[in-house]
Structures are given as structure tokens and as C-alpha cells.
Structure 1
Amino acid sequence: MILDLDGCRLLNLYTEATDGSAIETKESALVWHYRDADPGFGFSQAKEMLDHLESVLANESVAVKGGQFIVEVKPQGASKGLVAEKIFTSMFENGRQADFVLCIGNDRPDEDMFEIIGNALSRNMLSAYISVFACTVGQKPSKAKYYLDDTSEVITMLEFLAKATDSSASSEEEAESSL
């Protein structure tokens, strides 16, 4: 990801000035987290940082967004929603349709992803027999159909899903062996 050096310096300055904050480098974004910072101070630092980044990076092709305990800087046009749309479109163009979608997000940028799933459903790009589980974590309101309180509920749900998948696979194996 190409990010103006002034933007990187700015993230570092706010990290040094805000105990409990950290920078996460993702494949397509830089994310400043302040979940472990003093809530009031972290929020005011995030608001101030957003203003600074927007002015410093005004001529760059990046998007600066605030979310739940984060400030994210990423190239414009890069989002989970666009990736989901490309996957659904590619499958559809190749004569295939997804029949199961599990989508979990905990922040405002994830709302694009939930919306894309709804759009793909309405455009019949997904199987008529699809099971869609769009879950937001700790955030209301949301375009996601399901709500989970926190990451421990995500883990519990994934464990139940794994057990259901294992028991379903075992039932199929038993049925095949009895033939």
C-alpha cells in the first residue's frame, strides 16, 4: 500500500502520544487501534487524527475512516464489500453460485460487505438454496441480519458450526457406507 510519509508519521505520533494505542499493518490498510486506551482520550485523539489525516492526505487516493475504536487508512476502492462482489460475480460468470455465506464484521467499513451480500441475493447471483449468515459484532444498527455481542460469541458460534459440519459429514459418510 502506498501511503504518504506524512500520514505514516502522523499515525506514529498519535500512537506515541496515546497509551494503549497501536498501529496494525494489513494487506490493504493501516489501522490505528485505541481500544486499550483511556476511552475519552482515545476518542478525542481519534477525532483529531481523522481531521489531520484527511487534510494531510487530501490529494492522495486513500480513504480515511473512523470506526469502533479504530482509524483506518486504505487505498480508495479497496473494501471487503468489493472483494465479496468480485467473488460472487466471478462465480456467477463461471456458472457457479455460492450456497453458503458466512460474513462477520464489527465495524462501519464492514457494512459495505453486508450490503453487497443483500445486493447479490436480490440480483439472483447466489444460489436459490443459499444459507446466508451476516453477523455484526457489538454494533447496532447494522445491515447484518444477526447480532453477536462480542468475540467470545463469535468463537462459540464457530464451534457450533464446526460441530454441526462434523456431524453432518459423519451422517453422510454413514449413509454412503450403508449403500
Structure 2
Amino acid sequence: MVVEPVMALYTEATDGSFIEQKESAIVWHHQEADPHFGSCQAKELLDHLENVLANEPVVVKRGQHIVEVKPQGVSKGMVVEELISTMRSEGKSPDFLLCIGDDRSDEDMFESIASSVSNPALPTISKVFACTVGQKPSMAKYYLEDTSEVINLLEGLATASAPATLPIASQELQGGTL
């Protein structure tokens, strides 16, 4: 495919950028590049790829410090829908769902969660938390300012869900044998 050679040109021209090959996408990252230059290069790469791939069955998206190319019809939203559907069909409807995303490419995931939860014909998911990080407006119901708030949230969840007493495990942890 022509995409990777185009991304390679931008990688060579942008210190701190790199290409990631995913199972269903190719992603150009520029979070380690100069912020201004990386952002300008991302915009230019996006325009370039949209022109080159205009007649191809792919989607070109720009997210936070990334430009992504993936086949049409593949999205995080579809993956979430499939996961929830599979669990429900096996009689294991989730009782807790936490979804965290930090850029525009996560919006279809938030939208899928909202539609799955609001469908009265499906078993309910009792606790659903869709959180966007640093992006407004969003389809996500909840907002976290930055990654430190994500870490605080996850630590709070871990603490709240930990069993009240773990005498054996905590003794082993203190002894360093676990």
C-alpha cells in the first residue's frame, strides 16, 4: 500500500516521529516531535493522505499526536459493540463498563456505548462510565482533565474494589515473596 512510504517521508522529515503498524491500521505518531512542527506536519500528512487515498476504502483520521489510516468499517465503536454483544449473547452482560479515550478517534466508541446502554431491548449494564480526557465537547458522559486524573480514577477504583482484608497476600507482599 502507498500509505507507509508516504508516512516514511514525514517520519524522515520530523524528528521524534515514528510509524506504528497495528493489526488493522497504520499510525503515524508525533508526540515526541517539536509540538508546533509536529502538529503542522500532521496536518500536512493528513491532507496528503486524504488526497492520495481519496478513492480507496480507507479512513484517514487525525487524533491527539497521531494520524491514522485504517480500512473503512473498522472502528473502536464496532469493537465495543461486538464485545458487549458477545458478552450478552453468552448471558454475561457486563455489570460495570469503563471506557476512557483522549481524542476524536474515540468518539464513535463513546457513541456506541451510549446507544448500547440506552437500548431498552437489551439487558442493562448497571454501571457505565465513558470518560474523555482533555477533549470537549464529547459523546462521553464524564470528563477527566489529564492523565494524572485517569491514574487517580484507576487507583480509586482499585482501592474501592479490593477485598476488605487480604492478610495472607499483604504478608507475602511485605515479605517480597509474591
What is the TM-score of this pair, normalised by structure 1? 0.84
Structure 2: which amino acid aligns with 1:127?
Answer: T
Q: 1:101 aligns with which of 97, 115, 118?
A: 97
User: What do residues 69-112 of structure 1 show as CA deviations (whole Å, max 9, x unaligned)?
Assistant: 21011111111110111122223333442211000101111111
Q: 1:80 aligns with which of 76, 79, 82?
A: 76
Q: 1:127 aligns with which of 119, 124, 129?
A: 124
Shift of 1:38: 2.2
Structure 1: which amino acid aligns with 2:48?
Answer: H
1:140 counterpart = 2:136 = yes
Structure 1: which amino acid aligns with 2:117?
Answer: L
CA distance in 2, matches of 1:169, 1:78: 44
The 8 Å contact of residues 98 and 126 in structure 1, kept in 2 or not, is answered as no
Structure 1: which amino acid aligns with 2:50?
Answer: E
**For the aligned residues, what is the CA RMSD?**
1.8
- Kindly, what percent of the aligned residue pairs are identical? 61
Structure 1: which amino acid aligns with 2:47?
Answer: D
Shift of 1:50: 1.0
1:47 counterpart = 2:55 = no
What is the TM-score of this pair, normalised by structure 2? 0.84
The 8 Å contact of residues 99 and 126 in structure 1, kept in 2 or not, is answered as no
1:71 counterpart = 2:67 = yes
User: What do residues 27-48 of structure 1 show as CA deviations (whole Å, max 9, x unaligned)?
Assistant: 2211111222222222221111
CA distance in 1, matches of 2:56, 2:29: 22
User: 1:160: which partner in 2?
Assistant: 156
Structure 2: which amino acid aligns with 1:20?
Answer: G
Shift of 1:131: 0.6
The 8 Å contact of residues 88 and 126 in structure 1, kept in 2 or not, is answered as no
CA distance in 2, matches of 1:71, 1:117: 24
* 3-state SS in 1 of match to 2:163: helix
* 3-state SS in 2 of match to 1:167: coil
CA distance in 1, matches of 2:156, 2:163: 11
**Which shifted more, 146-155 or 112-121?**
146-155
The 8 Å contact of residues 111 and 142 in structure 1, kept in 2 or not, is answered as yes
User: 1:177: which partner in 2?
Assistant: none
Structure 2: which amino acid aligns with 1:111?
Answer: E
Aligned pairs, number: 165
Shift of 1:166: 0.6
Q: Kindly report structure 1 stretches of 4+ aligned residues shifted beyond 6 Å.
A: none
